Structure 1
Amino acid sequence: MVPAKFLVIFVLCLGISDANFLRKLLKELSDGDAEDFQDEIGTNTDSLGRELLRRRDQNGYYDDTVTDSPTQYVEDTTLSGSAEGVDDPAKEEEKLEEDTSNGGELLDHKNVDKDSTLAKLISSMDVIVHGQDQKPMGLHPESDRKQKEDSLDQHKYTPEQLKVKAVGLENDNNFKRNFETGSSRLWENGIVPYTLVGNLSNSEEKAIIEKAIEELAKKTCIQLVPKGSVKTQDIGHKSFLEFVPKTSCSSWVGRHKSGKQELTLQNPGCLHHSIVLHEILHAIGMEHEQSRSDRDKHIKIFKKNIESDGHDQFVKEHTSDTRPYDAESIMQYNLYSFGKKTGGTVSKTMELVEKKLEFLADLEAGLDFYDVADITDAYQCAAHCKGLSRPKCENGGFVDHNCKCFCPPGLKGDNCQKVETSSACGGIVDVSESKVTEIRTPNWPSPYPAGTMCTWLIKAPANMLVKLTVDNLNLPYNSLKRCYHWMEIRYNLIGQLGVKICGKIKGKTWTTTPYGESNLMMLRLDAKFAEDKDPGKGFSISTTAISKGIATADRKEKKLICTFENEDEDCFFEDDGNWFLGEGRSPSDYGPSKAYRGQFYAYVDGSNGKDHQPAKMTYKFPSTMDYCLSFAYYLSGSDMGNLRIQREDADYIYKLWTAQGNQGDSWKKAKVDIKAETGDLILIVAKTGSDYTSDIAVDDIILKDGGC
């Protein structure tokens, strides 16, 4: 056989332009020294040209987390969960709550371990102050441990996988969301033999690995058992995992043909519960969440912000997506992973469409609800549960490998038919399209009792959405913009943590997303964690059911119009007093001769402007979504005059559109796409030039939901 190193060099020179030769080459390699070839190909990945190797499908890879400078992470086990008590994000919050009697005091500490469960809990908070959403202070997900771990991930391909890509074989459809193509990559009967070598067999290191194995066995039918034990007999293959303390955190994806396949865990650096589980899930066939084929509905990738060696991690895969996109998954990257660094600042590489839920991508615990569901589906863990042994799970629950209902966090009972709540409040609330149901905290409008925990499951009929309107909310927070007590709303997926709201609100609405269990919403009052702080009044909420069609139509058709036609009628924009209502020709004779349509328009000119200061119209966005702003404008006279559209949040001013100088003696139309969050401001800003000929006017301003 031709030496692997020679073949790699030859392939590099050839540029892989001859597909027939590549087929022959890879066939020869598949019968030879695969590890030797992989080592050489990994060293020359960039030169080889990844895009040529991938062609269409991106299903199999080697997940290699290389650490150039090993770092031992030290965490506060009281607040972040030790190796003996790690579980999914919801359970970690519960444990933190149970172990804490002075949560309010902890929230008042400015410096919080950014990798702790407390920091992750704080990151899910949203404080409403004077109608504006404000995020807690002192958190930096762009520089926490999860961001660093995820940014070390790299992929390599086996010769067999390269052969599939080069030949262009079609993927079969017999696989589940996030899993390697075809059942041939799964481990028979969910049995995975393994060995530990080097210092990974020491008691402390071994305990961390075994804790991850234990969680997987507890929640699914996957069993990692020592190689050579009774359970590994008669499994029909010789494949096994070998946990190796090499300079990386890595695993092949799925089971390979025969013999040893390494799962490397650099020590120190990689021996953390979530990393070990992440690599094991790769080994049983699971891929990254941000690579799903439906990811564009849920996340946006900023390719220009990705480091040159990180683009592999954001390639979209061909997946069947049988369950909803889960940003909380242990397989989801931090949103700053592989971000370019500028002056010490890491660029954001992804954002969620549901921006309020971006904290989910930074949670670091064990398997979450949908991770367990995906593994159960892929390995058919509950296939043996038949007849009377198979329960009928409700409210988003599913049958697990024990033939019991695995319930979303916050639900319990044999069929997930009950909520976990105190006896004085909470329960299941059935809503319909024909009536509005009110939910109130205990003693409303007087303060609720300290230490109160209430959970409501709001259920609409199948194929409908739940709509919630806050009539009044008053929940306490501190100067660091951290909620002492909060209302948690799970409006995206019932098995996923929700955003935690506090402050003062009136009139704000939430509607369940069309993904997953869209007719279910969970609402929680938590005054237990910081029961050392005085309670607020609580909240009063109205909820009802709406059809998906109506929700879509409302979003498309809802718009605000400002025509200036009624002098006594307020425009939805508020002006600063520097704009004037015009009729007919403008006073300077250099502006419009009439309105764009109708009789009136708004204008500012060089003679009427106050020392040529910018004239501003301002509108505050009521909700987070995409908007389209359209308007007519007139810009004449001095070349120094300009009209601009800008969005402002608590930290920045974003210039979205600008027109400058003399634009002629006629009205023009413009449209501007705006992606805004609740409480952001949109401004129409006009600044006249230095002489009296500068005139600027606007008319027929329309703001509607959805893009232009």
Structure 2
Amino acid sequence: MLIYPSFQQEGRDTGQQRWWEQEIQQEGNIERGQLLTYNLTELIKPESYQVRLTPITRSGEGDSTERIIRYSPPVNPHWNKFQCSFEEEAICMFTQDKTEEFDWTRHSAATRDTKYTPNTGPSSDRTGLKQGFYMYIETSRPRVAGDKARLLSPSFSVAPKNPYGTVTTNPTYCFSFYYHMYGKHIGTLNVYLRQKAQTGSDGVVWTLSGNQGDRWRQARVNIHPTSAFQIVIEGVRGSGIEGDIAIDDVAIEEGECRDPPPSNLISSASPTGRHIWQSCITLLLALTAHRR
């Protein structure tokens, strides 16, 4: 066993010279490789920080370790509704996933090039205002089929459901947004639920592929997070350059979705099921005509 009476913690804004320090007292013995946690309550701005941790033993200071972390403040636990129309450059604290091939682009007016790609993308934001903003994926070169762009929402806290501060049942939230998927090369738009307690396993809650016409449509889906969560919006490039996908007016609201439009969940009806349903309608019409 190793005995670490305390740690010296230092931190600073990335790119700044001045460090701030504090000593973290520890109780008892700490085993080699033991995982320790500590809340950095001093971080108040959503930006990157450099953190250095140095163990202080009875023989002096040990080897230091450094990490770059990014602070993303959770929304107030008692929030009722989050809305974002991407009108501000800060895009409501959404961030780009830098592990993917490219980024979403904030844009106003039309995405299409009247000469090379006249038949893809919206001509305005969801409200019809050409000066209004939205987010979209640009699928022209150098993008290739399968390239992905991911937009990460801020972190949201799940509100406690009892006075003891714990969640007794899985709360329900309604996630809604407008999408525009117009073009013969449209790929796929996916929405994932990322939970803090389930690292490495984003769960897909909505997906849609292919050309949906030159219009904005709304999607709504119920989500059931059990811990702090993020929404991940993923655009996947299709087979060609006429495949711009856009989103606008994103919202998260407590409670189930009211009067939801058809949502493109994973469990959609099969082609066989649709054929049987159409056959039943045809048979019903035939019987009605015979009675007359």
Normalized against structure 2, the TM-score is what? 0.52
Other-structure match for 1:637 = 183
Other-structure match for 1:283 = none
CA distance in 2, matches of 1:575, 1:478: 36
Structure with larger RCO (C-alpha < 8 A, sep 6+): 2
Instruction: Output the amino acid matched with 1:641.
Output: G
Other-structure match for 1:240 = none
> Does the aligned pair in 2 maintain the 1:609–1:688 contact within 8 Å?
no
Structure 1 residues 615 and 628 mapped into 2: Cα distance closer, same or farther (>3 Å)? Answer: same
Other-structure match for 1:672 = 221
Structure 1 residues 609 and 565 mapped into 2: Cα distance closer, same or farther (>3 Å)? Answer: farther
> Does the aligned pair in 2 maintain the 1:641–1:660 contact within 8 Å?
yes
SS at match of 1:593: coil
Residue number among 69, 81, 98 corresponding to 1:559 in the alignment: 81
Instruction: Output the amino acid matched with 1:617.
Output: L
Other-structure match for 1:646 = 192
Counterparts of 1:399-414 in structure 2 under 5 Å? none
> Does the aligned pair in 1 maintain the 2:181–2:210 contact within 8 Å?
yes
The total of aligned residue pairs comes to 181
Q: CA deviation at 1:504?
A: 2.9
Structure 1 residues 651 and 665 mapped into 2: Cα distance closer, same or farther (>3 Å)? Answer: same
Other-structure match for 1:503 = 38
CA distance in 1, matches of 2:41, 2:254: 21
Structure 1 residues 705 and 477 mapped into 2: Cα distance closer, same or farther (>3 Å)? Answer: farther
Other-structure match for 1:575 = 96
> Does the aligned pair in 2 maintain the 1:579–1:603 contact within 8 Å?
yes
Q: Unpaired segments of 5 or more residues in structure 1?
A: 1-101, 106-444, 452-475, 484-501, 509-531, 533-552
Structure 1 residues 664 and 506 mapped into 2: Cα distance closer, same or farther (>3 Å)? Answer: same
Q: CA deviation at 1:607?
A: 1.5
CA distance in 1, matches of 2:252, 2:32: 35
Counterparts of 1:44-55 in structure 2 under 5 Å? none
CA distance in 2, matches of 1:647, 1:479: 31
SS at match of 1:656: strand
Counterparts of 1:1-400 in structure 2 under 5 Å? none
SS at match of 2:252: strand
Question: How far does the alpha carbon of each residue in 1:216-274 deviate from its partner, in whole angstroms, 9 at most, with x for none?
Answer: xxxxxxxxxxxxxxxxxxxxxxxxxxxxxxxxxxxxxxxxxxxxxxxxxxxxxxxxxxx
Q: CA deviation at 1:570?
A: 3.5
SS at match of 1:503: coil
CA distance in 2, matches of 1:707, 1:643: 22
CA distance in 2, matches of 1:449, 1:644: 45
> Does the aligned pair in 2 maintain the 1:646–1:682 contact within 8 Å?
yes
CA distance in 1, matches of 2:23, 2:106: 47
Other-structure match for 1:98 = none
Q: CA deviation at 1:689?
A: 1.2
> Does the aligned pair in 1 maintain the 2:186–2:244 contact within 8 Å?
no
What is the identity percentage for the equivalent residue pairs of Structure 1 and Structure 2?
27
Structure 1 residues 564 and 503 mapped into 2: Cα distance closer, same or farther (>3 Å)? Answer: same
Does residue 1:619 correspond to 2:153, yes or no?
Answer: yes
CA distance in 1, matches of 2:152, 2:81: 16
CA distance in 2, matches of 1:632, 1:574: 19
> Does the aligned pair in 2 maintain the 1:578–1:609 contact within 8 Å?
no
> Does the aligned pair in 2 maintain the 1:619–1:681 contact within 8 Å?
yes
Other-structure match for 2:126 = 596
Q: Normalized per residue, which structure has more strand? A: 2
CA distance in 2, matches of 1:688, 1:633: 15
SS at match of 2:249: strand
Q: Unpaired segments of 5 or more residues in structure 2?
A: 4-21, 44-57, 59-75, 160-170, 258-292
Q: Normalized per residue, which structure has more helix? A: 1
Q: CA deviation at 1:623?
A: 2.3
> Does the aligned pair in 1 maintain the 2:105–2:137 contact within 8 Å?
yes
Residue number among 137, 140, 143 corresponding to 1:607 in the alignment: 140
> Does the aligned pair in 2 maintain the 1:477–1:503 contact within 8 Å?
no
Normalized against structure 1, the TM-score is what? 0.23
> Does the aligned pair in 2 maintain the 1:673–1:707 contact within 8 Å?
yes
Moved over 6 A (4+): none
Instruction: Output the amino acid matched with 1:621.
Output: S
Does residue 1:699 correspond to 2:248, yes or no?
Answer: yes
SS at match of 1:676: coil
Structure 1 residues 594 and 620 mapped into 2: Cα distance closer, same or farther (>3 Å)? Answer: closer
Question: How far does the alpha carbon of each residue in 1:330-350 deviate from its partner, in whole angstroms, 9 at most, with x for none?
Answer: xxxxxxxxxxxxxxxxxxxxx
Q: CA deviation at 1:604?
A: 1.4
Q: CA deviation at 1:560?
A: 2.8
Question: How far does the alpha carbon of each residue in 1:317-375 deviate from its partner, in whole angstroms, 9 at most, with x for none?
Answer: xxxxxxxxxxxxxxxxxxxxxxxxxxxxxxxxxxxxxxxxxxxxxxxxxxxxxxxxxxx
SS at match of 2:87: coil
Q: CA deviation at 1:477?
A: 8.9
CA distance in 2, matches of 1:608, 1:477: 53
Q: CA deviation at 1:674?
A: 2.4
> Does the aligned pair in 2 maintain the 1:618–1:683 contact within 8 Å?
yes
Structure 1 residues 621 and 447 mapped into 2: Cα distance closer, same or farther (>3 Å)? Answer: closer
Instruction: Output the amino acid matched with 2:157.
Output: S
Task: Give the alignment's Cα RMSD to 1 decimal.
Answer: 3.6
